[in-house]
Copies of this chain bind each other. A is one copy, B any other.
Amino acid sequence: MDPTDDQVACFEAGIKFGSLYHQFAGTPVSPESADSLARAIEEAIENQPHCEEVQVSIREEALRAAIDAGDADYVEFTGEFADVDVVVEYEGVTVETAMRMDGDYPLMAIEDVRE
């Protein structure tokens, strides 16, 4: 069957999450550069169609702990270092989604769908 508007809205939200994760995973990041990376992720993904808002909150404690445990003074960006919220609107349907760590896995999930 053809998709309904809420299905398309959820599909679009998924695109945003896959995009931001795989575009920016691997970026060298330190406490000093974390803010500019977070802003760039937000503004880059907000360019995509139907994307209302992206919020990237760096998990500074996890970032500092990873740097302390390693041999360099930066690490490669992965999901463990940020909480991310994305809001998509499509044909009157609003989808709120979030990425949070679930154990050691950065779980992306739909938090709310409303018309």
Contact = CB atoms under 8 A, between A and B. Distances in A.
Given A2-B110, A15-B108, 17 more contacts: A11-B97, A11-B110, A14-B17, A18-B20, A19-B22, A20-B22, A21-B26, A22-B22, A25-B26, A26-B78, A27-B44, A28-B47, A33-B43, A36-B39, A37-B43, A47-B73, A48-B74
Interface residues of A, number: 61
Interface in A70-115: 70-74, 76, 78, 95, 97, 102-105, 108, 110, 112-114
A36 B40 contact: yes
A42 to B, nearest CB: 8
Interface of A: 1-4, 6-8, 10-30, 32-33, 36-37, 39-49, 70-74, 76, 78, 95, 97, 102-105, 108, 110, 112-114
